[in-house]
Chains A and B, each alone.
Chain A
Amino acid sequence: MLAERFARAASVAALHADAVDREGRFPAEAVAALKAERLLGLQIPRQFGGEGSGLTDIAEGCFALGQSCSAAAMVFAMHHIKVSSLVSHGLDSAWHCRLMERIAGEQLLVASSTTEAGIGGDLRNSLCAVEAEGATFALGKDASVISYGAQADLILATARRNAEAATSDQVLVALMADQITLERTSTWDTLGMRGTCSDGFRLEARGVPVEQILPKPFAEIAAQSMLAASHLLWSSVWFGIASYAVDRARVFVQAEARKRQGQVPPTALRLAELSNALQAMKATLVSALRRFEDAQGNADLLDSLAFSVMLNNLKTTASDMAVDIVQRALGIVGLAGYKNGTPFSLGRPLRDVLSAPLMIGNDRILANTAKLLLVQKSAGQLMSA
């Protein structure tokens, strides 16, 4: 059963989560467990040796891991966001089909390079450009953040189509670890999400066959698979972190209740509010996942403004709610949560979840939504996007 495989990987992740955080190191044990459970190839179609899983299955994994080790959960999410782009847009390319076979067979780990010095979180613009020389190309990128760049087996990177192309005329290229050099330009010594090892690099690729460029324009890949996968899977990780915090608060309140039987502890009221907030967050996430699953095969709907607005709203709402929920859980647990090394410690989850509103800044996303709302019309039905 998939849930059991996730649970086994999550229990390994939990065991090492504190050390991963403290040392700011890659969650190697958790990723080894994910590979041992064959979870890195889940989304790959069956004909290429995968299991043909949809994003909802992957979201369950992000949620399970998010409760154990945020960094391992985010690595799993980011890997599958990249794989979803391959599965949605690589089927027409023999090279990418072979790559999918290798990801499933060898459990290869895929990283992402969109962020660039001078561009920041503006996914849809690049400065660096593919420079084709006959059947091969070269690419140099000031990649200011690549999570687990040093540990990944391959990196999917955005770049302008060629040296003359506009900054928004981008392609997505697959670069195998042995085809590139990565020179570390900054170290990921952060408040939280420390185990994602999201260092900055100067990425140099040379002599890469042009068939490794995904045939679809990145604009389409971003709109049709990456935006949805990112917001749905990131939010699932954040929901896992928030759920863990609420669990800690509940256990704490229940222990209080056992000590003073016959009385409802004052913190129980705060717990009731918190369960309310967690349910609202879950509803936002689950309805977005359902809408996404229902829209599969309906390119017009997936491409519509209303759908983009819905996904943008999911990201900003889920990220803000997750921070709020973890903070309020800490308020219930009190000092036992503020201290490290207690059964109620919430320092690590709080520091981790603070990255959520910054991971593609919420204001950047709101500004984008604001533009879309200039033409969007009201929804006709309760159950429509």
Chain B
Amino acid sequence: MVSPEAIRNILARNEALAPIAGEISEDENLFDKGLDSFGSVQLMLALEEHFDVEFPDHLLSRKSFSTIRSIRETVSSLVQAEAA
């Protein structure tokens, strides 16, 4: 399972989220915390690079990337699918 800390480390590279990445709870909406559409694209790229996965088109929506929990679930499902 992908840890929340791994996700927080990646969030910390985002300009808007950097100062608060450590404090964001798993269910807080990242877009409410200042993540914008370009930031979310950068986040997707960073996650693909770090976890060596590719998000298919149907997962590239605001919902998949709106909270730390949803990101963990999305990434985990892909990591497991690769391992299987």
Contacts and interface: CB of A to CB of B under 8 A. Distances in A.
A371 B41 contact: yes
B62 A223 contact: yes
B34 A305 contact: no
B56 A377 contact: yes
A273 B44 CA distance: 43
B31 A219 contact: yes
A181 interface: no
Contacts of B61: 300-301, 303-305
Interface string A365-378: 00010011011111
Interface of A: 124, 166, 168-169, 217, 219-220, 223, 299-301, 303-306, 368, 371-372, 374-380
22 contacts: A166-B16, A168-B36, A217-B32, A299-B63, A303-B61, A303-B62, A303-B63, A304-B58, A304-B61, A305-B41, A306-B57, A306-B60, A371-B41, A374-B45, A375-B44, A375-B45, A375-B48, A377-B54, A377-B55, A377-B57, A379-B57, A380-B57
A219 B16 CA distance: 16
Given A166-B16, A220-B62, A375-B60, 4 more contacts: A169-B32, A304-B60, A375-B45, A378-B57
Contacts of A377: 54-57, 60
Contacts of B57: 304-306, 376-380
A368 B37 CA distance: 9
Size category, B interface: 20 to 34
Return the 10 tightest CB-CB contacts between A and B, nearest first: A305-B60, A303-B61, A304-B61, A375-B44, A377-B57, A303-B62, A168-B36, A306-B57, A300-B61, A166-B34
A306 to B, nearest CB: 5
A299 B64 CA distance: 12
A375 B56 contact: no
A144 B2 CA distance: 48
A300 B60 CA distance: 9
Nearest to A367: B38
A291 to B, nearest CB: 14
A372 B45 CA distance: 11
Nearest to A168: B36
Contacts of A168: 34, 36
In this complex, which of B34, B38, B45, B57 has the most chain A Cβ atoms within 10 angstroms of its Cβ?
B57
Contacts of A378: 57
A303 B56 CA distance: 14
Contacts of A220: 62
A304 B60 CA distance: 6
Nearest to A125: B36
Nearest to A299: B63
Nearest to A223: B62
Contacts of B54: 377
In this complex, which of B31, B48, B54 has the most chain A Cβ atoms within 10 angstroms of its Cβ?
B31
A357 B32 CA distance: 32
Given A377-B56, A377-B57, A372 B36 contact: no
B63 to A, nearest CB: 6
Given A300-B61, A305-B57, A305-B60, A375 B41 contact: yes
A211 to B, nearest CB: 20
Nearest to A308: B37
Contacts of B32: 169, 217
Contacts of A299: 63
A376 B60 contact: yes
B64 to A, nearest CB: 8
Contacts of B36: 124, 168, 219
